[in-house]
A and B are shown apart, each in its own frame.
Chain A
Amino acid sequence: MTRNNRAASVADWLGTEGPGYPLVLSSRARLARNLEGVHFPCSAGEEDLERARGMVLEAVSKRVADDRDWDIRFAEELSRDELGMMTEEHLTSRSFADRMGGRAVALSWKDGRSVTVNEEDHVRIQVIMPGAQFMEAWREADKIDSCMEEEVQYSFDQELGYLTSCPSNVGTGLRVSAMLHLPALVSTGEIARTISALGQAGVYVRGLYGEGSGVVGNMFQISNRQTLGRTEEFIVRSMDTVVNQVADNERTARKMMLRESELGLADGVYRSLGIVERARKMGFFEALELISQVKLGIEMDLIPMDDFSILEVGVEVGETHLRERLGNDAEKEDVERERAVHLRRMLAL
């Protein structure tokens, strides 16, 4: 993965429309696994971490990374920028960027498949797909898992299933998540009821990057809480049902907003568009909020503009991606200026 070929392939799935578009932005399936007989990464010594990395990467290169799309990198070899870009593109978690010894990542940039090594668990298999494709994403992750398993022996207990560093992942090790854009539920305040219902259904709700609980740009990530006592298929199907329900709620809220005050709604989205058109500098979170409003305006036929991918634009106006365009010595102010300019460019304004 050199800088150049990377820039050309800003994760394809980010800009692709999937089923459930435009409300369901993406689906993610993640499997957590550990190697038998090796301490979990948080308590493993350097030697153990190296050994685990060697075993996992050998399995990946022998059984999984069979085409040119795959790229295997040690964390300590990745620059701050590359780590930041991967986080912004949701390919690795934020904590991966705190690079600790012995970590590595195998990525297939194009289609959102990745295997991270020695993060919280020895192995984290992740597949992201555009739109609501939970079953497809899980099947793909499961396929990678089964291939890896021909090479390595996973830590597995007859009662508890796959043993993970955190007991919140034990059993299937499967976390399925959806990224949703829910501006109308937030505007109408209906989101409170939705979130409370999701909580009761054993579903987590989090913000854009899956950590912390502040939600930016009306983008919500919801995922299954329980990983034990259910089959993988049950977990995946439940997520599908829940996501459909939430998307339905958003559609209803949008209709309600139109009915109650089309003028108020149009005023709101056009004010956001006005700021995007005129702003001379812009913070990241502010940009995400504005993108969300403009996008809502387009989807509701209030703003006659070409549609765009909210995830892709969100990634493009991220700190590291902008610095990549500006060079490393860019000041904070330069980045904020470039963000305002680049956002107009992305939206063809």
Chain B
Amino acid sequence: MNIFCDECKKNIATVFLTKISGTEVSKVQLCEECAKRMEETTEAVNLLAFLPQVLSSLQGVEENLVEDILTGELLTCGSCGTSFNDFQKMGLLGCADCYREFSDALHRVIIEFQESDEHIGKIPGRASEGARLRRRLLDLEKHLQQKIAEEEYEAAAAVRDQIREIEVRLNADVMESDKE
């Protein structure tokens, strides 16, 4: 008894595939040719598959942003010329600056996909100390603004001293690396 291919119903099925789409699992019986074709065309569970869902969830939240995204024309990276439209099609950005140029829309994509928007992993070695200091600096500057807003001037002055200290160290680093 031969089993025929689920796909073409013509050839004899020799391959028994487990098909995963999202979290759905099904079994299919295919001939070698159809199996190969299917493997090539099945949708990978990747960012691209995920994008439309995220972008449609933007609707109603920020009308202007959505319009920009839908027309795709206004959002183009000044550095590499990649448009947000290109990104939607390919799932790929053109350069590091795209992250800044598309930051509003991209931020949501990243939050939805990564469930986070802050890197807490490895920091490049050579730049590590500087990067850490600069991050601290950003935090302190925010803190300073807050203290000023709250009219806690004494606390603000203490924060400002810390900022100066870090700035001195950062400048020293720059001079050090210039010497190299």
Contact status of A168 and B47, CB under 8 A, knowing A39-B80, A283-B14, A284-B32: yes
Among A34, A161, A195, contact of B20 (Cβ-Cβ < 8 Å): A195
Interchain CB contact under 8 A, B23 and A199: yes
- Binary contact readout A78-97 vs B (1 if CB under 8 angstroms, 0 otherwise): 00000000000000000000
- Binary contact readout A163-194 vs B (1 if CB under 8 angstroms, 0 otherwise): 10111101110100000000000100001100
Q: Could you say which residues of chain A place their CB within 8 Å of the CB of B21?
A: 213
B169 within 8 A of A: no
> Closest CB of chain B to A85's CB: distance in Å?
18
- Binary contact readout B94-135 vs A (1 if CB under 8 angstroms, 0 otherwise): 111001000000100110011111111111111100010011
Interchain CB contact under 8 A, A186 and B18: yes
Closest Cβ neighbor of A225 among chain B residues: B113
B44 within 8 A of A: yes
B148 within 8 A of A: no
Interchain CB contact under 8 A, A195 and B125: no
> Closest CB of chain B to A148's CB: distance in Å?
10
Among B22, B36, B109, B119, contact of A167 (Cβ-Cβ < 8 Å): B109
Closest Cβ neighbor of A41 among chain B residues: B92
Contact status of A205 and B16, CB under 8 A, knowing A158-B134, A167-B106: no
Interchain CB contact under 8 A, B94 and A40: yes
A289–B109 Cα distance when bound, in Å, is 38
B43 within 8 A of A: yes
Q: Which residue, A163, A186, A232, has most C-beta atoms of chain B within 10 A?
A: A163
> Closest CB of chain A to B100's CB: distance in Å?
9
Interchain CB contact under 8 A, A230 and B96: no
Contact status of A171 and B119, CB under 8 A, knowing A160-B99, A213-B21: yes
B70 within 8 A of A: no
B19 within 8 A of A: yes
A214–B106 Cα distance when bound, in Å, is 30
Interchain CB contact under 8 A, B121 and A231: yes
A343–B22 Cα distance when bound, in Å, is 34
Among A196, A205, A228, contact of B117 (Cβ-Cβ < 8 Å): A228
Interface size class of A (residues with CB under 8 A): 35 or more
Q: Could you say which residues of chain A place their CB within 8 Å of the CB of B123?
A: 156
A214–B59 Cα distance when bound, in Å, is 33
Among A192, A196, A285, contact of B32 (Cβ-Cβ < 8 Å): A285
Closest Cβ neighbor of B82 among chain A residues: A43
Interchain CB contact under 8 A, B138 and A158: yes
- Binary contact readout B50-88 vs A (1 if CB under 8 angstroms, 0 otherwise): 000000000000000000000000000001111000000
Interchain CB contact under 8 A, B32 and A283: yes
Interchain CB contact under 8 A, A154 and B124: yes
Q: Could you say which residues of chain B place their CB within 8 Å of the CB of A274?
A: none
Among A159, A191, A196, contact of B118 (Cβ-Cβ < 8 Å): A159
Closest Cβ neighbor of A193 among chain B residues: B25
Number of interface residues of B (CB under 8 A): 59
Q: Could you say which residues of chain B place their CB within 8 Å of the CB of A212?
A: 38-42, 44
Among B95, B110, B116, B118, contact of A39 (Cβ-Cβ < 8 Å): B95
> Closest CB of chain A to B109's CB: distance in Å?
6
Interchain CB contact under 8 A, B124 and A228: no
Interchain CB contact under 8 A, A214 and B95: no
> Closest CB of chain B to A313's CB: distance in Å?
17
Interchain CB contact under 8 A, B119 and A213: no
Interchain CB contact under 8 A, B119 and A196: no
A38–B82 Cα distance when bound, in Å, is 14
Contact status of A158 and B135, CB under 8 A, knowing A163-B96, A205-B20, A215-B19: yes
A42 within 8 A of B: yes
Closest Cβ neighbor of B18 among chain A residues: A215
Interchain CB contact under 8 A, B16 and A160: no
Q: Could you say which residues of chain A place their CB within 8 Å of the CB of B15?
A: 216, 283, 285-286, 289
Q: Could you say which residues of chain B place their CB within 8 Å of the CB of A168?
A: 46-47, 91, 113-114
A162–B131 Cα distance when bound, in Å, is 12
Among A150, A171, A199, A230, contact of B125 (Cβ-Cβ < 8 Å): A150
A212–B135 Cα distance when bound, in Å, is 40
Interchain CB contact under 8 A, A216 and B80: no
Among A145, A186, A214, A226, contact of B38 (Cβ-Cβ < 8 Å): A214
Contact status of A214 and B17, CB under 8 A, knowing A159-B118, A171-B121, A228-B114: yes
A98 within 8 A of B: no
9 more CB-based (< 8 A) A-B contacts, given A156-B131, A192-B23: A40-B80, A155-B96, A156-B123, A167-B113, A167-B114, A213-B21, A213-B42, A232-B122, A283-B32
Question: Please, could you name 16 A-B residue pairs with CB atoms under 8 Å apart, sorted by A?
Answer: A40-B94, A42-B90, A120-B92, A142-B122, A153-B126, A167-B110, A170-B119, A196-B23, A199-B23, A204-B45, A205-B20, A213-B43, A214-B38, A215-B17, A228-B118, A230-B121
